[in-house]
Amino acid sequence: MWVPFELGRPFGAPNNPEFQTRVLKALLSTLEAENGPVLADFDEDAPVSSAASDGDESAWACPIELKAPPPQADGDASVLEHALLQEIGQLRPWYELSVEQRSRTTVGVSSLDIEGNARYITAFLGDVWPDSPAEDLSQSVALKHAFEDLRAWYFESVMAQPGQATATSKQIVDWFWHETTAGAILQQLDKVCRESDDEVMQHLAGYLLLPRAVTGSVGDGSDGRANAEFGANRSFGV
């Protein structure tokens, strides 16, 4: 079933079980078809926050005051690693509060902890790329898991902030990609992967690393097929 929601939100809106249930029931109804395959459309837009519905995108201001602006992302890898670890230390109390409040986390796909993910990611900005930390994972898959955990860790941290209910997803995404060290480093990682001779890493950058909100394109910018080929969250089914 194709849904008109932003990438990463296949059920449309977080913390809205009534709407999510309608999406799930619509998906399950495709099983009633006598013939297949079935490609159905969900015709409702996801609910928006009160701030967004009022057209007021300035209502939310992230109260996390990071002690230092993001460093130059093309700097020395060790300097970037130190800056990223320092930023993670500042956000840790908010992440722990988020887990306590929600009794769950989406972080954990990587075999590394959050500091290990930070070190593994920044190592790719140096002269020698690190080996995979897990024997059963390729270097590229381990990197994908690392940046997915890092991104989720930041999003969950900021969502524990007072006043987060007025934040639009766009505001939170903009904060991550344009105001944090993590966002700056991932953008530099995207550049490094694109310029490498490794075809797998090139595809990782071209399709999976940066969202369209940052790149301004779909996948590698050539056409819209990337989402379908790489299983983006805009479609899902059983």
pLDDT in tens, 195-227: 999 999 998 888 888 887 677 654 443 333 333
Domain encompassing residue 189: 77-224
Please count the other Cβ atoms lying within 10 Å of the Cβ belonging to residue 223: 9
Range of lowest pLDDT (9-13, 41-45, 130-134) = 9-13
Give the Cα separation of 44 and 190 in Å (integer).
34
Decide if 134 contacts 38 (C-beta within 8 A): no
Q: pTM for this one?
A: 0.71
* 15 occurs within a structural domain: no
148, two tokens = 């997915």
The answer as to whether 154 is a domain residue is yes
Q: Are 24 and 11 in contact (CB under 8 A)?
A: yes
Tell me, yes or no, whether 30 lies in a domain: no
State residue 10's pLDDT score. Answer: 87
Mean pLDDT, residues 35-49 taken together: 86
Q: How many residues would you count in the chain?
A: 238
Q: Which residue has the higher pLDDT, 150 or 13?
A: 150
CA 90 centroid distance within chain: 20
For residue 132, give the 3-state DSSP assignment.
coil
Q: Has residue 33 been placed in a domain? A: no
Please tell me which residue, 93 or 60, carries the higher pLDDT value.
Answer: 93
Percent of the chain with pLDDT over 90: 51
Q: What total of structural domains would you count in the chain? A: 1
**Position 61 in a domain:** no
Q: Is the model's pLDDT at 78 over the cut of 60?
A: yes
Using one digit for the tens of pLDDT, what is the confidence trace for 105-117?
999 999 999 999 9
Q: How is 49-98 classified by DSSP, letter by letter?
A: -HHHHTT-TTS-------SSPPPPTTS-HHHHHHHHHHHHHHHHHHHHHH
CA 232 to chain CA mean position, Å: 12
Residue in 181, 201, 178 with CA at minimum distance from that of residue 191: 201
3-state secondary structure of 170: helix
- Reported as a single tens digit per residue, the pLDDT across 149-197 is 999 999 999 888 776 656 677 788 888 998 899 999 999 999 999 999 9
Output the 3-class SS for 174-236.
Answer: HHHHHHCHHHHHHHHHHHHHHHCCCHHHHHHHHHHHCCHHHHCCCCCCCCCHHHHHCCCCCEC
Q: Quick check: is 125 in a domain?
A: yes
User: 238: which DSSP letter?
Assistant: -
* 64 is a domain residue: no
Q: Is the pLDDT of residue 95 over 90?
A: yes
Decide if 213 is inside a domain. yes
